Amino acid sequence: MKKVGVAILGLGVVGSGTYRVLTENHDRIAKSQNLDVQVEAVLEINPERARMLGIEERKITASIAEVVGNPAVDVVVEVIGGIEPAKTFITAALKNGKSVVTANKELISKCWAELETYARRNHVGLYFEASCVGGVPIIRTLTEGMQANNVQSMVGIINGTTNYILSKMSKEGSDYATALRQAQECGFAEADPTADVEGYDASYKIAILSSLALSERVTVSDVFRQGITDVQAVDIRLGAELGYVLKLLAIAKNTEKGVEARVHPAFVSKTHPLASVDGPFNAVLLHGDMVDDIMLYGRGAGSLPTASAVVSDICYAATRSEPWYAPFRNTDDPAEAVKINTNFLSQYYLRLFVSDQKGALSRVAGVLGENGVGIREVLQKGESKDGFATVIFITHQTEENDMSRAIEGLKQLDEVKSVESLIRVEQ
């Protein structure tokens, strides 16, 4: 049986979960993988955390030099998060011939090429299954289950915090502030929720996943990002009346115009596979040219689900005869950049306050038509107030640039008091 020595950097939520999985399921891993995985070192500035888990005193250190210089350590697990000191620690591990397993989506999305260069030079691996969608094995599915396919699209709910908030707003009629507060009280949202609610977390993940799905390096700067902070309860209610559910979607598509990578709120039909994904759960819908649709669903965060993915990578690293590297040219060189399409196609839900006067709707429709926006459906909701009525348009497939020009045109119309909401509709 092969012995594998592991060092864990950080004993927070995921780090302590990883230690628990490695100890409680040690015999299971030994039987199924023929691996004797032992924690040989932990890097922790609060040694009491390690002692409470039953870790031997000799294995506890606050020195990364001690960790990477330990000959008993084969795999270093980084679960600190953020850019620094995680990047420095991972670099040190790779340069010292240790394979690295990380759950750090921000670091991988921003520094993948640099870190992989160190891994290649030292003939060790860099693995990050746990960086995207928690315990759901999305990365292994893309790299080892979809080889026969051109992955044409990927649409996912990959941030549990925002999905919990939007689910609360949908099911209970809560406004955004109330739903956010509930998410924080339940531990699904941080005290500072910016990374989640503004879409940064999802943009890190979709940059990684779209790179693997489309076999092109997509960087975070390539991702169109819009969060949920401007979502209004009235639009969720009106969308439900039209048969829609609102989700924060991460989308990657391979089109004739280039690669699309985007994160934004979007309505999906109540019959869409992602519509029933509620609360903190995540799901990803893949479409391959040969396999058609595949959907993965599960817990996108949490101590043990994420630790499950970490330990999967430890076993993967230990059982490979050669390290795994990105199956495409992994570079940050602008000259090698993939063609990104930001003028993507979508349907739109548009809510306006429009003058309740004869000919007003005709002039609104005229502006939309002049800018290439076709109308699929138009509805007036409720009674007019102060001479203005709530009007909702659902458009046909429209290019983003055309829709932007149309919105600017509508704002110039005397008949339009305000453009209240613009939400994409994904089929």
- 367: burial class by Cβ within 10 Å (0-12, 13-18, 19+)? buried
Task: Quote the tokens at residue 85.
Answer: 């000191």
Query: By three-state DSSP, how is residue 98 classified?
Result: coil
CA distances from 364 to 21, 30, 42, 351 (A): 60, 68, 64, 12
Establish whether 205 is a catalytic residue: yes
Cβ neighbours of 234 (radius 10 Å): 15
d(CA 280, CA 196): 12
- Given a contact cutoff of 8 angstroms between Cβ atoms, the answer to whether 142 and 153 are in contact is no
Q: Which one is catalytic: 59, 87, 205, 247?
A: 205
d(CA 126, CA 234): 45
d(CA 228, CA 207): 19
Residues whose CB falls within 8 Å of the CB of residue 74, separated by 6 or more in sequence, listed in order: 4, 5, 6, 98, 99, 318
d(CA 29, CA 356): 69
- Given a contact cutoff of 8 angstroms between Cβ atoms, the answer to whether 179 and 186 are in contact is no
Positions marked active-site: 205
